[in-house]
Structure 1
Amino acid sequence: MTQPEQVTFPAARADATVDAVVARMRALDAVLPARDGVAVFNRVYLTVTEEIGRRLRGGEFPDPRAATALDVRFAERYLTAVDADAAGLRPPACWRPLFQLRRHPGVRPLQFALAGVNAHIGHDLPLAVVDACRAVGCEPADLEDEFEHVGEILVVLEERVREELMPGPDLLQLADPLTHLVGSWSLDRAREAAWAAARALWALRHRPDVAGEFTDRLDAVAGLAGRMLLTPLGHRTPRPR
């Protein structure tokens, strides 16, 4: 299922800034229906990117140039997937479950948000680290502080997302399949795996055949996890009053 034709954007530029990718996410937010699964993730990611932009302006990153390169190239991979789907093309496997099930009435907002985060971290983040290293002229170890700083923001945001999109703890929630489904996915584990994958891809940069195969496997695994996170659960029964 594809987005309306008007939800299209020009290809991301090599000199794109954090403000530029924020503008593109805001444009998406303005045209997508609020319940659309991509819109749910986009709102989450827009909040993260706006926060990173504020912290960059506040001088909180040790190397602002490297942090900007990482953040922009990270965001561009998501936006490129959006562009591909809007054009009727096949986005990476990690994003396909979200685009295919974005309007499914049995998938809840928290599932859409986490499926997007899973795709973006499980596949896009390792590639963005390599992209940023090439752009800045450094190695992954030189970006580790920036990687960790971005990760800390993601952790805070994930906690906020779970609080806002998932009902508070009660006996009904403990029996809700959503509780068990989202509890099976860990942002911390995903970040650790992404960093290990980025280092492996960098080590394989002179072996494009092997690096390509490794990237395909990352994509497939993230897509499989995303499909499980988007298992339709139906609407939650309201708590009796």
Structure 2
Amino acid sequence: MSMKQANTIDEVIFLLDEIIEKSKIDQSNLGLFAILYREVTVRIKEGILAGSFQNGERMEKLDVIFANRYLKAYYQYQAKEKPSECWAFAFEQAEKFWPIVLQHLLLGINAHINLDLGIASAEVSTVEDIEDLKADFDKINFILSNLVGSVEKCLIKIWPTLTWILKFTGKVDNFFIDFSMETARNGAWKFATEFVAVPENEKEACIKLRDKRITEIARLVSNPGYFASAVFKFIRLFERGTVAQKIIDMKIMEEKNMECVVA
């Protein structure tokens, strides 16, 4: 499989569509995050066209660099090469039976925000001008910050009893809240402002160190403790539909603008 990379935001959306279609055919959970990420990319594109960002040209460049890190990791994994550690962990979990849909999505969000977003932000900036990016960075994260709660709306469509489970098991609901998008984006910005100042010959070592730290968060998402894990297993046993059907359901909700991903 060739290592496909995008040059424009439209190419990002096209490649995500390819991944989604392949995932449906393969019955692969990898398509779940791709659906989520496609919606975010479309919203960013709409924001650029509407002039919502201070610098639309820079924002498209950032979006493409950001997406290409995910795309590179995906194609490396498909080619049985080694992507970054946190992406490898997320992709490996996609092949397992027990993770629920929300865990698959959180594992992708964790790798893409906590590792990739900071690197991409630094790559479109210099030490002198990175603060100029902050307003547009926050607008991206205005979209991203609604992901976890809005994803629950999608999952309730896939398995309506999830509403009762989440209300009854407060500890599990707290697990979702504890995976704080605010903490993630603040950490991504802090990493970006530090990474942009790292000398070129030290960048790879810096990325590897960050990658290891983010993989530890991924392990917590995958195994959040005995009680939460037991409830997740119960949820998993009653998730309805094939993987392909879950992907289709999420896609339909996106097309009908049901605020499945972004509030």
TM-score (normalizing by structure 1) = 0.84
How far the C-alpha of 1:177 sits from its partner, in A, is 6.5
- Unaligned stretches of 5+ residues in structure 2: 224-228, 239-263
Distance 2:63 2:85 in 1: 22
Distance 1:9 1:174 in 2: 47
Question: RMSD of aligned C-alpha atoms?
Answer: 2.4
**Corresponding residue for residue 197 of structure 1:** 191
**Corresponding residue for residue 27 of structure 1:** 18
For residues 153-190 of structure 1, give each alpha carbon's deviation from its aligned partner in whole angstroms, at most 9, with x where no partner exists: 11233331133225654366432764343233111100
**Corresponding residue for residue 257 of structure 2:** none
The yes-or-no answer on 1:234 pairing with 2:225 is no
C-alpha spacing 1:188/1:172, structure 2 compared with 1 (3 Å): closer
**Corresponding residue for residue 106 of structure 2:** 114
> Superposition pairs for residues 116-155 of structure 1, below 5 Å?
116-133=108-125, 139-155=129-145
> Superposition pairs for residues 1-241 of structure 1, below 5 Å?
8-12=1-5, 16-33=7-24, 36-133=28-125, 139-165=129-155, 169-170=163-164, 173-175=167-169, 178-204=172-198, 206=199, 208-209=201-202, 211-231=203-223, 233-236=232-235
**Corresponding residue for residue 3 of structure 1:** none
Distance 2:128 2:50 in 1: 24
Identity %: 24
- Unaligned stretches of 5+ residues in structure 1: 1-7
Say if 2:166 and 2:172, in contact at 8 Å, map to a contact too.
no
Say if 1:97 and 1:226, in contact at 8 Å, map to a contact too.
yes
Letter in 2 for 1:54: E
Letter in 2 for 1:223: T
- In the TM superposition, structure 1's runs of 4+ consecutive aligned residues that sit over 4 Å from their partners are 166-169
Distance 1:180 1:224 in 2: 19
For residues 42-87 of structure 1, give each alpha carbon's deviation from its aligned partner in whole angstroms, at most 9, with x where no partner exists: 1100110011111111221111011111111111100000010011
Say if 1:37 and 1:113, in contact at 8 Å, map to a contact too.
no
Say if 2:76 and 2:82, in contact at 8 Å, map to a contact too.
yes
Task: State the SS of the aligned residue for 2:145.
Answer: helix
TM-score (normalizing by structure 2) = 0.77
Say if 2:166 and 2:173, in contact at 8 Å, map to a contact too.
no
Say if 1:111 and 1:182, in contact at 8 Å, map to a contact too.
no
C-alpha spacing 1:33/1:181, structure 2 compared with 1 (3 Å): farther
C-alpha spacing 1:202/1:104, structure 2 compared with 1 (3 Å): same
C-alpha spacing 1:173/1:142, structure 2 compared with 1 (3 Å): same
Distance 1:216 1:116 in 2: 18
Distance 1:172 1:139 in 2: 44
Task: State the SS of the aligned residue for 1:133.
Answer: coil
> How many residue pairs get matched?
225
Distance 2:189 2:23 in 1: 32
How far the C-alpha of 1:203 sits from its partner, in A, is 1.7
Distance 2:64 2:172 in 1: 32
